[in-house]
Amino acid sequence: MRNDIVRPGSWRDDSAPLLSEIHELEERIEASNLLYGGLKDLDDHYRLIKTKLDTALFLLNHTDKRDTEERVRVAGKQAREALTQTDALHNANVSLDQKDQITDSPEMAEIRQKLQQLVLFGGAALFEAAETRPVLVRKVAAALRKALLKYTGGQHQQTGEKKAREDHLARYEIKEGEEDILLSDRMVIPLSQAVVLIEDEVLPAVEKALKENPGDPELLKRKKRLQDQLADFKTTKFFPRARPHTIEKDLFTAALAGYTRDGEALVTVNMGTIQSSGNTYDHLLEHLRVEIVRDCAGAGVSRELDAEIRKRHSPRAGRGFALLDSLNTLDIPAIFRTLSTEYPFLRRIENREDLKLLADLAAGGRRSDLDSLIESMAREDTNLLSAGTDKLE
């Protein structure tokens, strides 16, 4: 007599289609970044995040109890990446109207719902960072402290330069609520992006308007201008700048000769944009990200960061110059998000209230209080959710 035992399906086999879909989407997004100078297809990004969350929830609740640690590790990787990629969309460098469209989109609402569902079903632990050696945590904490002191003037507190530094900063400070809103009928973007935007976004919108208002002379003129511009862009040839020249820190060829950092020609498109000048804290956050990534590069605190540096390193260049040259090609916000998955306390600076507190302590020369707060954050913030912002609530 047979005594068949019904065994659950393998979690590896059952999750393979989802993981395969994730891989395909990541490859498509990477190809789009390379082809179109970093242009984002939001539909692909939304789909990737949702698939990662679905995968994490699926693996978390799978009945197969074999290799549980590995199953949870795979689920955690997908959950953490989904969270940081959601942050990336919230912080994308887009016009104000587009930023609102992202935040208020049905897709983002669905992502928030999936995140809440994952936590509700016991997935909060998936956002826990892997245990890291204390010496590495101290290195990252020191990089945060150094950056805060540097960009708030706190490093001058003991040198008698405090008043001069404060006067200098006051001339350029943009307080919250006093940001300038910048309107423009044109935008300057890489040539490859211009072709995609006109072909897939702008022209279809004009054609849709023409269907509603047939024969409208202004719309007909605009359609003709766009078609001519598109034909011109498609036949435009340029000599790429293989290595844009750095005139001084953070000033690249794009500002002077019409080329992106990657050497692609910039063109002007008649497409409206609304931008904010940002305030002092927005600018401080940008500087802190750059400084922290630069201090951590090559320091052994992040395998992924060091791997990115090695990919861009030229063995024929001088050691110091090659490192600086490699750093200039990094996607700093993306690398910072990677660091944040390993050291969740870094996410605190993306929370406005926490950033204000840290900046005030640094600017006021309260170094012992600053050190205590950063040490406390580094010790207690081990989960990406608890150390995160409130965008996902």
Using H for helix, E for strand and C for coil, what is the string for 29-50? Answer: HHHHHHHCCCCCCHHHHHHHHH
Report the pLDDT value the prediction gives residue 317, as an integer from 0 to 100. Answer: 46
Residue 71, pLDDT score: 94
Measured at the alpha carbon of residue 379, what is the angle toward residues 377 and 385, in degrees to the nearest 5?
A: 65
Instruction: Please check whether residue 269 is in contact with residue 305, taking contact to mean a CB–CB distance below 8 angstroms.
Output: no
Query: Tell me, what DSSP letter sits at residue 347?
Result: G
Three-state secondary structure of 94-130: CCHHHHHHHHCCHHHHHHHHHHHHHHHHHHHHHHECC
For residues 277 and 174, the answer to whether their CB atoms sit within 8 Å is yes
Q: Which residues contact 296 (CB under 8 A, 6 or more apart)?
A: 139, 140, 143, 302, 305, 339
DSSP category for residue 131: P
Would you give per-residue pLDDT tens digits along the chain (393 residues)? 333 444 468 999 999 999 999 999 999 888 877 666 566 778 889 999 999 999 999 999 999 888 999 999 999 999 999 998 888 887 765 554 566 677 788 999 999 999 999 999 989 999 988 778 889 999 999 999 999 998 887 655 444 455 544 544 444 465 655 555 555 567 777 777 778 778 877 888 888 888 888 888 888 888 888 888 888 877 877 666 655 555 444 444 455 556 666 677 777 777 666 555 566 777 888 889 989 998 888 788 888 888 877 776 555 444 444 555 556 667 788 888 888 888 999 988 888 889 889 988 998 888 999 999 999 999 888 888 876 654 444
Residue whose pair of structure tokens reads 């989802």 in the numeric block = 18
| pLDDT recorded at residue 248 | 46
- Rounded to the nearest 10 degrees, the angle between the axes of helix 332-342 and helix 303-312 is 150
Quote the pLDDT of residue 372. 93
β-strands 273-276, 181-184: how paired?
antiparallel
- The CA dihedral of 79, 333, 302, 142, to the nearest 10 degrees, is -120
Q: What is the pTM of this model?
A: 0.68
| Tokens representing residue 283 in the block | 């600018």
For the chain, the residue count is 393
Per DSSP (E only), the strands in 228-299 are 266-269, 273-276
Rg (CA), the chain: 24
Q: Taking the alpha carbons of 303, 305, 311, 314 in that order, is the dihedral positive or negative? A: negative
Residue type, 139: K
Please identify which residue in the block is written with the tokens 């706190």.
154
The distance between the two most distant Cα atoms of the chain, rounded to a whole number of Å, is 92
Q: Residues 6 or more apart from 42 whose CB is under 8 A from it?
A: 89, 102, 107
Q: What angle do CA 98, 117, 85 make, to 5 degrees?
A: 40
Which residues does residue 183 pair with via DSSP β-bridges, in sequence order?
Answer: 274
How many whole angstroms separate alpha carbon 194 and alpha carbon 266? 9
Long-range contacts, 368-371 (Cβ 8 Å, 24+): 370/145, 370/148, 370/149, 370/154, 371/145
Q: What angle do CA 284, 287, 288 make, to 5 degrees?
A: 85
Give DSSP secondary structure letters for 54-81.
HHHHHHHT-S--TTHHHHHHHHHHHHHH
pLDDT at 76: 93
Q: Which residues contact 3 (CB under 8 A, 6 or more apart)?
A: none
